[in-house]
Structure 1
Amino acid sequence: MITESHTLDGAVEPTRWRDRVRAWSGSIAYVRTTDILIALAAASLPWSTTALAVFMLLWLVAVIPTIDWEKFILDLAKPAFALPVALVALAVLGVAWSEAGWAERLQGIKPLGKLLLLPFLLAYFQRSQRGLWVFSAFLVSCTLLMILSWIVLALPQLKLAHTASDGVPVKNYLDQSQEFALCAFALMPPALTALRARQWRIAAGAIALILLFVANMFYVVSARTALVTMPVLLVLFASLHLSRRATRLLFAAVALASLLVWTTSPYLRQRIADVGIEYRAHDTSGIASTAQRLTYWRKSVKFITEAPLFGHGTGAIQHMFTRDAAGQTGLNAEVINNPHNQTFNVAIQWGLIGILLLYAMWTSHVRLFAGRDLVNWIGLAIVVQNITSSLLNSHLSDFHEGWMYVIGVGVAGGMALRARRPEKILADSAARRGCVTHKWCNKRDVVPAKVFGPV
C-alpha cells in the first residue's frame, strides 16, 4: 500500500505542476506581458540588434508554455508554416556536402535561422488580439527615427552611432530606407479609409506621416533598392484599393510630385547619376556599387552552373569567390560572402532545390494575405517588398530586413489566419449586428471598420 501511495503521489504531483503552469501562462497578465515583449522587439528593430535579440528570446521563452502542441504540429503541415522550416533544414543538411571549411559551414546556417520563429509567430497571433500593438510600436519607433534623421542632417554631432551617411542616426541608410518605405505604404489604407469616411484629422495625420517618410528618402538619405521597391508597392496598392479613375489621378499626382522632387533634390539627382559612374568603375577604390553587383552576379551564375541541382553546400559562397579571385585584379579579385541577390545566395549553396523552396515559401506567404483590410495589406507589402528588394540584395538572409520579414509576416499572417476561422467570421458578423445574439462575441476582436476596415 505504501508503494502504491508513493506511486500515486508521484503521478499526481507532475499533473498538478502542469496545471499550475497552464493556469499561470493563461492569465491575463502573462498574456499581456508576452504581447508587450513582441511589441518591444518590433520597436527596437530600427535602433538596436542586441535589444531585438533579447526581446525575441524573452518572447519565445514566454510563449513556449502557452503552445497547444497538438494544434501546432497540425499547423506545421501548412505550407506557410512548413516551408520556412524546410529551408532551414536544407541549410543544415547542406553542411554535409559543403566545399567550405567547418567554420564557414556553421556560419552559413545562421542567416536563415531566424525563419524558425515564423511558425511560432504565426501560431501565436492566431490567438493574440494585440497584433496591431506590434505594428503600432514599429510605426512609432520609425517615426521617432525619421524625426531624428532630419535633426542629425542639420546637427551631425547628435548621431547616436558612427555612420557613413548624413541623416542616419543609427545603423545605416539601407536599413533606414527599407523601414521608412514600409511605414509609408502601410499608412496608405488608413489614410484612404479616413478620407472616404471624411475623418479629416485622421486622414491629415496619416498623409502627413507618409509625406515625411517619403521626403526623408528623397531629400535626406535613401537606398536605391528602396526606391526600386516603391513603384512596385504603389502599383500593387492601386490595383487592390483604387478604382481606375482614382488610379489615374494618383499616378498623375505621383508624376507631378516626381518632377518637383527631381528639380528640387540635388541629393536624389546625384544618387541616380552615380549609377552610370558606378557601372563604369573597374576597381573598388571609388564608388562601384553597380559594377560590383554585376560582377557578383556574373560569377554567381558561373558557380550555379557548376552545381545546379544541390549547389556547393552551406556557407560555400565566400569559398567560391575566394577560389575564383585567385590571380585576378580589380573587381574580379574581390572576395565576398554575399552576392547581393537572394536567389543567387540560395542557389550557390543549395542549387535548384533551394530556389524551389525559397520561391514556394514566398508564394505561400503571399497567399496568406488574400483580404483587402489593413492587416492583409501590411503582410502583403512586407512580402512583396522583400521579394523585390531581394533582386538587388540578399534581404531575407540579412539581419535587419530578414527580421522585418519574420516579425511582419508572422504577426500579420497569424492575424489573417485567425480572421478566416469560421467562429471568428460569425463573431464579427454578430459584432456588426450589435453582439446581441451570440454570447461568445468579443468586441476586442473587432477593429472599427470606419478606420481599419476594407477600403
Structure 2
Amino acid sequence: MANLLGFDRLTAFQRELFIRSVLIFFCVGLWFGSLYTVLIILLLIAWQLDGDAQTFKELLKEPFVQAIIILCSGLLLGLIWSETSLTGRHKWAKYLLLLTYIPFMALLNKQRLPWVIGAVIAGYCLILFVGLYAWYAEQEQGVPAFDMTYLTFSAMLGIGSIVFICSACMCRHKMVQAVYSVAALLLLYLQFHQGARGFLLATLLTLVFVLINHFRLTLRTVSIIAVALALIAAIFSYASPTIQNRWVQARLDLEHMQQGNYNNSIGYRIALWDVGIYGIAEKPILGHGTGMPERYFDQTVVHYKNGIYADLPAFQTTSHYHNDWIEMGMQLGALGIVSLLYLLWAWYRTFARNQLILPGIALVIFVVLSGMTETFLIFARMPVLLLVITAIVVSWQKNAMQSYPRYP
C-alpha cells in the first residue's frame, strides 16, 4: 500500500515525521468516530513504512494480541452460522476496533512516546474543557459540540479519575500525589453531574479496589475508607441535582416494573438480560451467530413470557444487550464468553508482566463493572482510549526497565 502511494520515496526524516504525525493525529482523532476509517488506514501505512517497528510475528507472542485476534476471529467465524442481513448497523463490527492496538503498539518507541502522550493529554483536555463549559455555562450533559453523550463523557471522566488515582498510588513524591488526588476528585465531582449511574458506580467501586489493593489494608481500615468514600459520594450527590434526579428515576422505574411496565431505563435492561440469558440457554455452545442478538430480541419478545416485553422494540430500537457477557454469549455462546475472559486475563497480564499490577487490576475491574450495565467493548470511543493508554503505559515501562534494569 505504501509503495503504491509513493511513500517508499520518502527520506528517513520524512518517514519519521509522517509516522509521528499519524500517531499524533490518531491520539487526537480517536474522539471522533467518523475519522476511524482514515485513522486506521494511516496507522497501517505508518506501520508498513517503519522498518524498525515490531513485526506482527513479534507482537503475536504477546497474550493480549493473541486474545484480541482470537476474539475478532471468533466474531468473523460467527458470520457463518448467523442469519443476519448484510445491510444494517452491524454494531458488532466495533469489536474489530480492538485490532488498532496492534499497529499502534508496534509504532511506539522511546523517541515517539512524548509526542504521543502530549497528543493524548491534549485531546482529553480539549474534550474535558468543552464538556465542562457545556455543564457549567449551558447546563447540558455530555459534550454536544463533539456529539458525545453523557454516558460516554461519564466513562471518560471515570477513566481519568482512575488513571490519576493509580498515578498517585505509584508516585513517591507527596506533592505530586496530592496534585493527582485532587485532579481525580475534580473529575469524580464532574462525573457526579452526569446522569450515567452505571459508569459512576463502576468508577467508585474501582477506586475502592485500587486503594484496598495498594495499601493492603486491614478490615478496620477498609471500613474507614469505605465510609470516607461514601461520605464524599453523599456530598457530591447532594451537590448534584442530576444524580439526585437519576436516583429518583431509578425508584420510579422499579415501581413501574412491579406494575408490569418495562418501558423505562432499568426495566428495559432487565428485559434485555432476561431474554439474553434465555437465548444463551437455547444455543449455549456457539450462540446465535454474529450480528443476531438484536434480531433475536425483537422476534422473541412477541411470545416470551406471554409477551410482557412485546412493546419494548417500539419503546427503543434494539441495538445491544447492555451487558458485555450477555452480548458476547448471544453472539458466540460459550466460545465468545471464554474469548472475552481470555481477553480480560491477557489485558491484565500485559500490565503485570511489566510490573504494573495496580493499573492492570484497575483497568480490568473498570471494564468488567462497566460491562455489567453497558456493552462497554463496543461503547463509543472508550475501549480505543483504554487501548491507547495501555500501549503508552506498557511501552513507557518497558523503556524504563531497559534503561534501569533494577527498576523500579
Aligned in 2, Cα 1:252/1:152: closer, same or farther, shift over 3 Å?
Answer: same
Match of 2:33 in 1: 49
Deviation at 1:53, TM superposition (A): 4.2
Q: Quick check: 1:386–1:405 contact (8 Å CA) kept in 2? A: no
Letter in 1 for 2:185: L
Pick the aligned partner of 1:209 from 162, 174, 183.
Answer: 183
Larger radius of gyration: 1
Please say which of residues 342-351 and 260-269 is displaced more in the overlay.
260-269
Deviation at 1:223, TM superposition (A): 1.1
1:222-270 per-residue CA deviation (whole Å, 9 max, x = no partner) reads 4112112113321332144335388676545423322322433333222
Please say which of residues 107-116 and 357-366 is displaced more in the overlay.
107-116
1:388-436 per-residue CA deviation (whole Å, 9 max, x = no partner) reads 21111111123323322333334434445x35xxxx745324xx9xxxx
Aligned in 2, Cα 1:225/1:133: closer, same or farther, shift over 3 Å?
Answer: farther
Match of 1:228 in 2: 201
Q: Distance in 2 between matches of 1:65 and 1:392?
A: 41
Q: Distance in 2 between matches of 1:263 and 1:41?
A: 39
Q: What pairs up with 1:267-416 in 2 under 5 angstroms?
A: 267-281=242-256, 288-326=264-302, 331-335=309-313, 336-370=318-352, 377-378=358-359, 380-416=361-397
Q: For the aligned residues, what is the CA RMSD? A: 3.6
Pick the aligned partner of 2:87 from 85, 88, 103.
Answer: 103
Match of 2:156 in 1: 179
Deviation at 1:111, TM superposition (A): 2.0
Q: Distance in 2 between matches of 1:372 and 1:77?
A: 15
1:245-300 per-residue CA deviation (whole Å, 9 max, x = no partner) reads 88676545423322322433333222223222223335999971111110000000
Letter in 2 for 1:389: S
| Secondary structure, counterpart of 1:99 in structure 2 | coil
Matched, 1:259 2:242: no
Q: Quick check: 1:43–1:138 contact (8 Å CA) kept in 2? A: yes
Aligned in 2, Cα 1:23/1:413: closer, same or farther, shift over 3 Å?
Answer: farther
Deviation at 1:166, TM superposition (A): 6.9
Q: Distance in 1 between matches of 2:86 and 2:38?
A: 27
Letter in 2 for 1:221: Q
> Which structure 2 residue ranges, 5 or more long, are not aligned?
none
Q: Distance in 1 between matches of 2:194 and 2:92?
A: 32
Please say which of residues 255-264 and 75-84 is displaced more in the overlay.
255-264
Aligned in 2, Cα 1:136/1:279: closer, same or farther, shift over 3 Å?
Answer: farther
Deviation at 1:84, TM superposition (A): 0.9
* Number of residue-to-residue matches in the alignment: 395
> Which structure 1 residue ranges, 5 or more long, are not aligned?
1-16, 160-164, 433-452
| Secondary structure, counterpart of 2:378 in structure 1 | coil
Pick the aligned partner of 1:144 from 106, 126, 141.
Answer: 126
Q: Quick check: 1:180–1:213 contact (8 Å CA) kept in 2? A: yes
Aligned in 2, Cα 1:130/1:260: closer, same or farther, shift over 3 Å?
Answer: same
Q: Distance in 1 between matches of 2:232 and 2:343?
A: 36
Q: What pairs up with 1:153-192 in 2 under 5 angstroms?
A: 153-156=135-138, 165=141, 169-170=145-146, 171-192=148-169
Q: Distance in 1 between matches of 2:85 and 2:240?
A: 48
Deviation at 1:214, TM superposition (A): 1.2
Q: Quick check: 1:177–1:223 contact (8 Å CA) kept in 2? A: yes
Deviation at 1:142, TM superposition (A): 2.9
Q: Quick check: 2:142–2:151 contact (8 Å CA) kept in 1? A: no
Aligned in 2, Cα 1:426/1:131: closer, same or farther, shift over 3 Å?
Answer: closer
Q: Quick check: 1:346–1:354 contact (8 Å CA) kept in 2? A: yes
Give the TM-score normalised by the residue count of structure 1. Answer: 0.74
1:340-379 per-residue CA deviation (whole Å, 9 max, x = no partner) reads 1111111111111111111111111111111787x76555
Q: Distance in 2 between matches of 1:337 and 1:369?
A: 32
Matched-pair identity in %: 19
Q: Quick check: 2:301–2:308 contact (8 Å CA) kept in 1? A: no
Letter in 2 for 1:342: D
Letter in 2 for 1:177: S
